[in-house]
Structure 1
Amino acid sequence: MANVKQKMVKLSVLFTTLCLHVAYSRRLTDDIDNEVSALPAGNLGTFEYKTTSYVKITQPPVPVVQRNVGTHVELHCEAMGSPPPTIQWYKGHMRITENESFEDNNYIVDRSPGFAKVASRLVINYVLPRHQDNYYCVAEAGSQVDRKMSALVVPNARGREMNFTQLIASKILGAHHHPRVTFWAPAYMDVIGSDVILPCKSVGNPKPELMWIDPNNKQVTSDEKFEVMQDGELSIRSISWDDMGVYTCIIRNSVGEDSVETFLYPMQESSK
């Protein structure tokens, strides 16, 4: 058990280093070897299979948010884990998102555990009194679960609720909204030879169009190696060292656009 925890600590240290570089520089591919070799004992450029799953919310949503009726609000949450975690949002006890678990995705089988940092946004474009509640960011990886709460308070809620007819008359229902990516992986590590899926879930009205840009700044097209799936995920088969780099998911509609980046880091499997 101690060995598993030690491995997780090492992976977390490496992953934190990777994520910091992703945030501040797109030149991570030039620096990665130095960062790995600078870390404590052992070659952290290798990956050992683990039977113990792990997840931790590394950036919880803010504990309390106050928004008046009619305003826009977003709750943000990030988690790290192995196998790559998924994040669901709950309003009280009711689940309100359907982010698919990496390991439950039937498109890819016989995958290695992998290790990823994932992020999610809960977007409410027009706050109503009914939105006042406790919201939970729930991260799951294998059998492990972590959760954090955020309370949305609507100070002017009293007497401001609208029924369905009023929502239509006020043009709140069906209104056009700026597209936003709601679930993605800022960084993803897996063993060379593994099949991986990079997520990019989004919301927006009209429904956003989506494209992926590869580390060479070229648009990804579906072929034997890559496939852009219907829900926005990017499938990459049998990753190699040449696949390392930043993959950008871009979404657009008539209102605007949004984009997120995923740094993919292929690793050698440990021979131990």
Structure 2
Amino acid sequence: MISLVSLLVAAALVCLQSGYQAYAQIEGKNDLRDNLQPNIIPMPKKRALRPFINIAGPPPESARLIPGTLLELSCEVIGFPAPTAQWLKNGEPLTEFDDVNEIMNIHPTSLARLTSKMIVSSAANGDVYTCVATSGVKQQMASTTVVTVAGNDEESLFGLEALFRKPSKPIITEYYNEVFQEIGTSILLPCKHFSTSPSQVYWFDGDEKPVFGNPRMRILPTGDLLIPSLHWDDMGNYSCTVKNAYGKDTVETFLYPNKKQFFLVTVN
């Protein structure tokens, strides 16, 4: 899937190409006029990037849950300011996933692509799980209907008990794929996770050095990484690893501290 970084680079190339074509067209007209008119190159207009939200990778419309297994639903969201994602079950907030539904402090200059996952261990046939993506006052939703294997309550209970007896590695349920934010502001890089056994969270900075012990960065009890004041040197790929006795899961976040708010460049 094309990343947010690739999309921004592609947009910049399109703008540069459009500017060159506009310049070449004006130069051609000037040659026809035998240089009677001075060369005039129109200045590109700048427009501030407007707030938006888009579920770029919605969860499937339906998914099958097999007793004794975990069903992983993924929701990929792009937004400006940086989006958040919450999950509903049959239209109601999931209280058992308070850490997933925790509202983060989002800075208005941030632009990000967020991945949010819902881990379903048990459900009734026809239950609907909804990803609610929010950015500012804008919101989008995408839902999945869960189809379960037919069986009685005793079989379902046996499958749930078997699931928690079975060793399983942790699953990181929320993180930024990419995030852009203004230098000097504070940022929170999420790394929320699901684990049926005690787990530990490790962060590595853009230089692949452990964040533990860095006076400028702090790992919160939720597993998120707090950077109080962004520096230009903070740019890079940050990795979060969650480990338990049965394995680990790792994700990467590309952090880009920008000098000012985003602008779209348009050519006359």
- Fold-level similarity (TM above 0.5): yes
Q: Which runs of 5+ in 2 are unaligned?
A: 20-45, 264-268
Tell me what 1:252 maps to. 243
2: CA distance, partners of 1:115 / 1:259: 22
Counterpart of 1:86 (choices 84, 96, 99) is 84
1: CA distance, partners of 2:59 / 2:10: 29
Percent of matched pairs sharing the same residue? 28
Instruction: Sort the Cα spacing of 1:228 and 1:18 in 2 relative to 1 into closer, same or farther, 3 A.
Output: farther
Tell me what 2:104 maps to. 102
- State the Cα distance separating 1:238 from its structure 2 match: 1.9
Tell me what 2:57 maps to. 59
Instruction: Sort the Cα spacing of 1:270 and 1:149 in 2 relative to 1 into closer, same or farther, 3 A.
Output: closer
Counterpart of 1:191 (choices 182, 187, 190) is 182
1:93-242 to 2 correspondence within 5 Å? Answer: 93-96=91-94, 97-98=97-98, 99-103=101-105, 111-125=107-121, 127=122, 130=124, 132-154=126-148, 156-161=149-154, 170-173=161-164, 176-242=167-233
Instruction: Sort the Cα spacing of 1:14 and 1:93 in 2 relative to 1 into closer, same or farther, 3 A.
Output: closer
2:9 is the alignment partner of 1:38: no
Q: Structure 1: which 4+ aligned runs deviate by more than 6 Å?
A: 47-50
- State the Cα distance separating 1:235 from its structure 2 match: 0.9
Instruction: Sort the Cα spacing of 1:182 and 1:40 in 2 relative to 1 into closer, same or farther, 3 A.
Output: same
- State the Cα distance separating 1:214 from its structure 2 match: 1.0
Aligned with 1:178: secondary structure? coil
Aligned with 2:75: secondary structure? strand
> How many residues matched?
230
Q: Calculate the aligned-residue CA RMSD, in Å.
A: 3.1
2: CA distance, partners of 1:163 / 1:67: 11
Aligned with 2:170: secondary structure? strand
TM-score, normalised to structure 2's length? 0.75
Q: Is the 8 A contact 2:68 2:162 kept in 1?
A: no
TM-score, normalised to structure 1's length? 0.74
Deviation string for 1:77-120 (max 9, x for gaps)? 1101122111111111121233322237xxxxxx4431111001
> AA paired with 2:128?
N
Q: Could you say which structure has the larger radius of gyration?
A: 2
2: CA distance, partners of 1:56 / 1:144: 9
Q: Is the 8 A contact 1:185 1:262 kept in 2?
A: yes
Q: Is the 8 A contact 2:77 2:83 kept in 1?
A: yes
1: CA distance, partners of 2:93 / 2:135: 17
